[in-house]
Structure 1
Amino acid sequence: MRFTDKSIIVTGAGSGIGRAAATLFAAEGGKVIVADVTDGAEATAKAIRDAGGVAEAIRIDAGSEEDVVKAVALACDRYGGLDVMFANAGISGGMANIFDTSVELITEVLRVNLIGPYLAVKHAAPRIAERGKGAIILTASVAGIRSGAGSPAYSASKAGVINLARVSAQQLAGSNVRVNAICPGLTETGMTKPTFDYARDAGKMDRVGRLNPLRRGAQPEELAKVALFLASDDASYVNGQAIAVDGGLSSSHPVTKQEYGRTAV
C-alpha cells in the first residue's frame, strides 16, 4: 500500500498503460483522478470503484492547458492536494516519413505528446511541492532514444519528453519533486492493437517483439509497474532519468543475432 491516501492524476487512463497504472495506484491505496479524452476514463474509474478503490473520471485533452489546469484543480479539490502526476497520454501520428508528414500532423503530435507533458509539469509541480515531496512521471518511448521505433513526428515528440524530464528535474531542484520518464518498447495498447490483432489472426505472434532479447511484446501492466515504482518512495533517489522498458531492445546496436545456446547464422 505505497500510495495510501495519496492524490494521483493519470492521463491517458482510458486504456492501455494509463488504465493499468490507474488501477494499480488505486489498488495500493491511491485516490486517482482518471483523465482521458475518451469515455474510457469513466469506464476505468468505475472499475476501480467497483473493486473498492477511490477514483473520479474527468474528460480532458492532455494537450490543452485549460484542461490540464482543470484536472489538477479537481485533484486538489477532491483529495486535498496532489502527490503524483503520471502524464501518460499520447498519440502515434501514424508512420509517415519526413517527406509525407504534414506540418499539421507533426504539430498535433507535438501538441499532445510533448506540450501535454510540459503542461503536466508546469501545473502539477507547484501543487506537489506544497505537499513536501512527490513525483511526476512522463511517458516517453524507445522511439525517443534512437531511430527505428516510430515515425519522425512521434520519435521527435518522445525525444523531447526525455529531455523535458531531465530539464524539469534540474529546474525543480530543492522542491523535493522528482521527475522521470519511462520509455516503453512495443506494448499491447489501443495504439498498437492493429499490430497485435494482425499477428494473432495471421498466426504470427512469434514475430511480435522478435528484435528484443525477450522475444515478445509487453503488456500494459509491465509498464505501469515501472511507473508506480518511480512514483513511490522506493525510487526516492531516482530523478531526471529515462528508463527504457523494452525487453532489452535499446541495449544494442544492430548486430548479427546470437541465440541462447547456439550461434545464429
Structure 2
Amino acid sequence: MARFQDRSIIVTGAGSGIGRAAATLFAAEGGKVVVADINDTADATVQAIRDAGGTAEAIRIDAGSEEDVAKAVALACDRFGGLDVMFANAGISGGMANIFDTDVSLITEVLRVNLIGPYLAVKHAAPRIAERAGQTGRGGAIILTASVAGIRSGAGSPAYSASKAGVINLAMVSAQQLSGSNVRVNAICPGLTETGMTKPTFDYARDANKMDRVGRLNPLRRGAQPEELAKVALFLASDDASYVNGQAIAVDGGLSSSHPVTKQEYGRTAV
C-alpha cells in the first residue's frame, strides 16, 4: 500500500510508542515524515525509517511550545513542499494522584502538553494543510491523541483525564471551524497500550508473571501494542476515512463499551 505517497506528515511524540509506530508506518506507505519529539529518540526513529528506504527528518520540540510547533510545521513545508497530515500525538501522564493531592503546577503542565499542544498543532498546521489541499485537490487531515480517560472516569488521573477530555472536544470544535477547508480533524482514544508511559505496568506484570491481568477489564482481555493504535491513526489520516470528521474513536479492546456490570465469562455466567 502507498496511501501516503509523497505526502508531507508531522508526527509529534514520535521518538517512541504510538508516535514511533505511526511515523514508521506513514513512511512505509510513501509518506515524508517530520519526526518530532522532545527527546533525541527521534533520531533513532528517523534512522530506522531511512534504513528501510523511507524519508524522514528529525526535530526536537516541546509539543506545548508555540514556537516549537511552528518550527516543526515550517520544517515540513520547507523540506517537503507543504503539509498534508498532522498527527498531534505527544503527551505526558501526570501521575496518578487524586484531585486533593495534585499540585496545581502539575495540572498546569499536563494541560500545557496534552491539551495546549494539540491546540497549537491545529492552529499552526491547519492553514498549511488547507493550502496544500487547495493546491492538490485532495483533502488533508489532523489526528489528535486523546484517551479513553477523556471519555469517562476510571482510566487516568484527574489532570490527565481532564486534558484528554479537552482533546476530544477540541477535535469536534476544530472540525467545525475548518468547515469548507477540506481538512478533517479526528481523535483516537487509546486504552491501555504498551508505550514508554505504561512501561512500568507492563514490566511489573511480566516480572510477576501476571500478564494475564493486564487489560483484564476489557473484552479482549489484553493491552494493546503501539502499532494497533498507529494503524487507526493512519486510517483516519488516509483517503479511506474521507468522510470521517469530528470524531473520537476509542481503540481500547472494548473497555469503554460498557458501564460497570456483573462480569460474564464466555460460555457461562459469573455469580
Task: Report TM bin, short chain.
Answer: over 0.9
Secondary structure of the corresponding residue to residue 125 of structure 1: helix
Q: Equivalents in 2 of 1:243, 1:19: separation in Å?
A: 20
Distance 1:98 1:81 in 2: 43
Aligned position for 1:233: 239
Superposed displacement of residue 260, structure 1: 1.2
Deviation at 1:264, TM superposition (A): 1.2
CA displacement 1:19-71 (0-9 Å, x = unmatched): 00000000000000000000111110010001100000000000000000000
SS at match of 1:62: coil
- C-alpha distance in structure 2 between counterparts of 1:264 and 1:221, whole Å: 33
Cα deviation, residue 259, structure 1:
1.1
Counterpart in 2 of 1:28?
Answer: 29
Q: Secondary structure at the match of 2:244?
A: coil
Q: In 1, distance between residues paired with 2:23 and 2:265?
A: 37
State the 1:11 CA deviation.
0.1
Counterpart-to-counterpart distance in 2, 1:262 and 1:194: 34
5+ residue gaps in structure 1? Answer: none
Root-mean-square deviation over aligned CA pairs: 0.5
Q: For the residues of structure 2 that align with 1:14 and 1:99, how far apart are their CA atoms?
A: 33
Per-residue deviation, residues 220-249 of structure 1 (Å, max 9, x unmatched): 000000000000000000000000000000
d(CA) in 1 for partners of 2:4, 2:226: 20
Aligned pairs, number: 264
1:255 to 251, 261, 268: 261
TM-score of the superposed pair, with normalisation by structure 2:
0.97
2:198 and 2:124 mapped to 1: Cα distance? 30
How far apart, CA to CA, are the structure 1 residues paired with 2:159 and 2:193?
A: 19
1:91 and 2:92 are equivalent in the alignment:
yes
Percent sequence identity over matched residues?
93
Equivalent residue runs for 1:48-63 within 5 Å: 48-63=49-64
CA distance in 2, matches of 1:47, 1:101: 39
Shift of 1:15: 0.2
1:54-106 residue CA offsets vs partner (Å, 9 max, x unmatched) = 00000000000000000000000000000000000000000000001111000
TM-score when scaled to structure 1?
Answer: 0.99
Structure 2 counterpart of 1:152: 158
Distance 2:210 2:46 in 1: 34
Which string of whole-angstrom CA distances, capped at 9 and with x for unpartnered residues, describes residues 147-178 of structure 1?
Answer: 00000000000000000000000000000000
| Structure 1 residue matching 2:197: 3-state secondary structure | coil
**Residues in 2 aligned to 1:234 and 1:224: alpha-carbon distance in whole angstroms:** 15
Deviations 1:101-137 (A, max 9, x none): 1110000000000000000000000000011540000
Distance 1:189 1:261 in 2: 33
How big is the shift at 1:262?
A: 1.0
- Spell out structure 1 runs of 4+ moving beyond 6 A: none
